[in-house]
Each structure stands twice: as structure tokens, then as C-alpha cells.
Chains A and B, each alone.
Chain A
Amino acid sequence: MTAHRLLALADGPLAGAAFGNIIVACLLALAVATFWYCRKNEIWWQALVEVFSRRRFSVLVLSLYVALALADSVSWVGGGGGEADGVLSHEARSLVDRFFSGSTEKSYSSPLAAAEFYDKTPLVRSRGHLLGTNILGQDVLYMTVKGARVALLIGGLTSLIAIPLALFFGMVAGYFGGRVDDLVFFVMSTLASMPSILLLIALIMVLGQSTVSVCVALGVTSWVSFCRLARGETMKIRELDYVVAARALGVSHAAILWRHVLPNLLHLVVISFVLLFSSLVLAEATLSWLGIGVSGSWGQMIAQAKDELSRDPIVWWNVAAAGVAVFVLLLAVNRIGDALRDVLDPRTLGEGR
């Protein structure tokens, strides 16, 4: 039950602003650190440049998403202008919130229309909305932009949970072998043998439904495959001459793991992260359809809008906006992932399936 409380806390008062900001800050710090590391390391830098030159457009698109997510993560209280949206005085609003402030209509309006969709009353915003408004009159562009932060949060937070976990256990198991390896491998087999979608559902139902618990559940179900990879690679690295030599010289295990094993796994981390990311966003969309997703995600937008295609006249802009947003993001991520794999490691990973 303590788990409930903890998750509830994270999703309760903190969830709106502070908690998300912390996560985003962590992710940003991590990205900067990665960048710095690459800058100093020539091989990595070259790889990065290569990927960039191959996938200029995809990188640009991804940067746009990240920028939007960041703009939505920088939030503070006050500054006025929120009364029209029913925002309370103590609530933090992000740059994006402020930009779209006062854009709420009464109900549907189609893209760029000047009047409401059904009863044809004039809109609050006389020039209309670029992507129309949804049933509650919220600007669809606004909702779509806000989804970027959620998507990156899902991918990022889950990766923050899954990758260190996988890396740690994979390295320890692969490096020490023996009993430790047996144990880790057993746990991995156990988790891996539960169908991931069912396990996800079970975890979310038990943990209760919130952004954090969805991420935790996704983390639990997605760390195994990477852990297996890390373990295998570590076993190979362990047998390399200089690692054997370092051991013979009595260098501590921790130092070997940190200095010799970890750097050699980094390319796997990067590639796995990218491959994991798109599968996480897809998984969240599935969960949203089942009604246990993350609020504000594109998956949820799609799920909410799925019946609108049956409206007559048809309301398509909601599902189209969210669909295109998620599609473009995944496309960019997949393309970059492909290039990264080609550049960094054409062999060991095969295809991330």
C-alpha cells in the first residue's frame, strides 16, 4: 500500500508542474552530459556527425518536438492571463499554456473556421484555430503541442527507469557470472516470459493509474531485453585482453566495470534508448485505448477522438492532429535509430524487435 501512497503523491499535487519539471530537467541534464561526452570522444563525435548528416531532416523534426516539450515544461505561477481558461491563481502554467491562453471555445470548431461547428455561433477567437477545437472547445493545436511533453516524458522517464536497471544487472551478471548471473538470468526469464501487454495491464491495475505508474510498469516490462543484451556484451568484454590484464593487476571490480565495461556498452545504450522510445510511445497508445494510459498523451487524444469519425458531418481534425503528431515523431525517431545503428553498430543488435 505504500507503493500506492508514493505514486499518489507523485501524481497528486506534484504531478502538474514540479514533478514533470524535475523529470524533464533530469532528461535535459542527461542529454547535455551525453553530448559533452561525445564532444570529448572522437569516435562518438564522428558517429554523431555522421548520423546528423544522414538524417538532417529527422534530427530537425525531433529537435522541434524536444523544443516544444521543453517550452511546455518551463512553468511558473502567476503572470496573469489565465482567468479565461479557468486557471487558478496558484497553478503553474508553462510557456505553451501562456501562448495558447484564452483559446478555449465552447465546443467543436473546424480548422480555421470562424464559427462553431454545430450551432454556428461565432468563436471567441474570430480568426479561428489552426487545427480546430475539440468537444470541450480546447484548441487542438494546443492539446497536440502539449502531447509532445507527455510523449517525451513517457519515453524519457521509462528509459530512466529501465536503462540504468538493465545496465546495472546486465553488467553485474555478465561480469561476475556464477550465482549472480544465475539469479539475474532467472529473474529476467521470469519477467520476460510474461506477455508484456498483460503484465503491463496487471501492473497498472495493481499500482493504480497515473503517469508515474504507467512509466514504472512500462519500465518493468521493457528492461529485460536490454538487460539480456548488456549481459551478453559484458561477457564478451570480460574476456578482452586488457580487461583480463586489469583484473590480474588487482584493479577493483567497480573500477573495471566503470572504466572498461561501461564505455564499451554505451553504443548499445544509445541505440536501445532510441529503439525503446518508439516502442514505448506505441505501447502507451495501446494502453490509452484500453483506458489505462497517461492523460494528455496523443494516444488518449486518439482514443477520445476515435468515435468522432462517425460523427456526421465528420470531425476529423482531432484524430488527424494527434495521429500525425505521433506518426511524425515515431518516424523521425525510427529513422534516426536506423542511422545510429548503421553508424554505431551494424552487427550485434540485429533489429530491435
Chain B
Amino acid sequence: MLAYIVRRTFYALLVVLGVLFFLFVLFFAVTSPDDIARRAIGDKALPQVIQQWKHVHGYDRPLWPGPGHATDNLFVEHFERMLTFDLGRSDADNVPIARRIREGAGPSLLLTVPMFVFGLALSILVSLFVALFRETYIDRAGVLISVLLMSIPMLLYIIFGQFLLSKVLRWFPLSGFDPEPAVVARFLALPVVIAVLSSLGSSVRFYRTLFVEEIYKDYVRTARAKGAGEFRILQGHVLRNALIPIMTDVVMTIPFLFTGSLLLEAAFGIPGLGSLVVDAINANDFSTLRAMVFLGSLLFIVGQVLTDVSYTIVDPRIRLK
């Protein structure tokens, strides 16, 4: 078990290095530091100011390691800094990126955690319900509705949700965010509803398939022959078995709770990490984008390791010695 975790972690580290290399190629080799510098200061800056900026930010050094600058180059520095979580400063407004991420993580989590919890709970409930009534019109309608729901782009959910629920019916604030506990739920309610609804289709379809697949397995028949009721079978046997693939799916999404939701945050003005990315796009802030991609990958890789390890705990069939 320990050996497996060590091996898995080592590989994960290798992948982190791979990601860093890819990012370097993307953000330094394809886009030159000159571009970054010009982007950062804007059109009012004089050439010497650009030079100065490049100097201050250390972009005026060689790109790749070479004779005479084996360590003093951007390539080595990129790895060094990223691996020590020195994410640097934003190209757009010079704010330390780490601080921006710390600030943004809170609102993002406030949005994504309820979104995730409600989404998961509701989709499991609905799919259990649909599976319980399999091969009736409820099941057929459920599948059809799921496909309908997943054929609608998120944009439309947002547009219509905002229009109908906020503007016409005045249930929720139109947009905005305030971390004050007294009011925070108001702002999050609508985005959470929209997110849950928009992800419901694909989740229900996926989970229903898993459940139905399990229902037709022999052990379910055994349980029936024992005298277990339909409900008990669903939750004691089917859910238990189907939870393993569901968990894989779920654990992989947990890291992304931190990266927030781009569209929702942008549309509802929630100052989370999703907004950070959207701002970075609009401001051509490459250093922030770079940091966010790195952070996202890191979380994903950690999530992957966790999934693999938790798999061995949850599924007795692959419990390792």
C-alpha cells in the first residue's frame, strides 16, 4: 500500500514537471518575454520603461539554459518559482498572484461547494428515482429530459435564469456578491440553482446507467430472493456498488471546486477564481493565467492520486496488500 502511494506520488511529481515544461513552452517560448512586458505596461509606456519593467520582473534574461547562464535563465527560474509556489505578480496590475488567488478562493468555494453538494445529492436522488421506476414512462421521460437538459449550453441557462428568476420574478439579486453571512446566501442561490440544473442532465444520465446496470446484476436478484424490498436493494446494494464509479467521477471534480466556475462567476459578478481567469483573459494577463493553469493542474494531479488511493480503500476488490 505504502509502496503504491509512493510510486503513484512519484509519477504525479513527474507529471507536474511535464505540466511546467508545457507551460514554459506555451508562455515563454511561443510568447516572448517582450510581448509580456509590452502587454503589462500598456501603450503609454516608453521603450525604456518597458526595458525597466522587464529588468524589474527578471524577464530580460536568456530563455533557455546555455553556457555562462546554466541557472540564471527563465527556464530554470520558471520551474524554481512555480515549484516553490512563488507565483509572481500579475502582469496586469502588479498584484501578487498568490494573494489574488487566496482572495478569490473564498468566493469560489462558497459558490462551488454548495453547487457540488447539491448537484451531487440531487442527481443521485433523481437518478435513483428514475432507476427505481425503470422501464416505466418515468424512466423514459427521465432519460429524455436528461438529454434535453444536457443539450442546452450553460449560456442559455444563465441568460434565462437571470432573466426569469431575477428580473421578472425578483426572487434573487440580479448579480453581485458579499461575503457577509447575513446576505451571502442571496447572491449564491441563483448561480447554484443554475449550475445544479445545467449539470443535472449529464449526471442523471450517467448515474442512471450505472444504477440500472447494477440492478440487473445477479447479486441484486439474490437480495430480492432474500426478501429485501426494492428500496433497500437500491440503497443497500445498488447505490453501494454504483458509488465506486460515481466516486471516481466526483473525486476528480473536487480539485476544480477551487478553480471556480468561469461563466457563472463572470455572469453573476462573483469575485472568485473564475472571475480572476476571465479578468486575465480580458487584460491579457499571462502570468495570472499561467499560475491558474498550474494551480488547476496541481489540484487535478493531487485529486488523481487521491482517487487512485481512495479506490483501493473503497473497492474491496482492488484492495492492495
Query: Which of A's residues lie within 8 Å of B, judged by CB?
Result: 3, 186-187, 189-195, 197-199, 201-203, 205-207, 278, 281-282, 285-286, 288-292, 299, 302-303, 306, 309-310, 319, 323, 326-327, 330-331, 334-335, 338, 350-351, 353
Contact = CB atoms under 8 A, between A and B. Distances in A.
Given A331-B147, A353-B249, A203 B156 contact: no
Which size class do B's interface residues fall under?
A: 35 or more
B206 A206 contact: no
B240 interface: no
Given A202-B293, A289-B155, 4 more contacts: A198-B292, A299-B155, A319-B159, A335-B147
B281 A306 contact: no
B100 to A, nearest CB: 15
B124 to A, nearest CB: 15
Nearest to B151: A330
Contacts of A205: 281, 284, 286, 289
Nearest to A319: B159
Contact of B300 (A195, A282, A334): A195
Interface in B141-192: 147-148, 150-156, 159, 163, 167
In the A-B complex, the 9 residue pairs with the smallest Cβ-Cβ separation, listed nearest first, are A190-B18, A330-B151, A195-B296, A285-B153, A331-B151, A351-B206, A193-B297, A193-B300, A194-B297
Nearest to A2: B30
5 contacts: A194-B296, A202-B26, A202-B27, A288-B155, A334-B151
A291 B282 contact: yes
B262 interface: yes
B15 A327 contact: no
A289 B152 contact: no
Nearest to A207: B30
A303 B278 CA distance: 15
Contacts of A303: 155
Nearest to B17: A190
A117 B129 CA distance: 48
A206 B304 CA distance: 28
Contacts of A197: 262
A310 B282 CA distance: 24
A349 to B, nearest CB: 11
Contact of B19 (A193, A290, A310, A326): A193
A206 B31 contact: yes
A322 B289 CA distance: 30
Contacts of B31: 206
Contact of A290 (B30, B249, B262): B262
A207 B286 CA distance: 13
B22 A190 contact: yes
B202 interface: yes
Contacts of A278: 151
B119 to A, nearest CB: 14
Nearest to B262: A197
Nearest to B154: A286
A199 B27 CA distance: 12
B259 interface: yes
A306 B167 CA distance: 14
Contacts of B30: 3, 206-207
Nearest to A316: B163
Contacts of A290: 262-263, 266, 278, 281
A59 to B, nearest CB: 15
A289 B163 contact: no
B256 interface: yes
Interface in B274-305: 277-278, 281-282, 284, 286, 289-290, 292-293, 296-297, 300-301, 304
Nearest to A303: B155
B262 A302 contact: no
Nearest to A329: B151
Contacts of B205: 351
A56 to B, nearest CB: 16
Pick from B151, B282, B297 the residue with the most CB of A within 10 Å: B151
Pick from B153, B206, B278 the residue with the most CB of A within 10 Å: B153
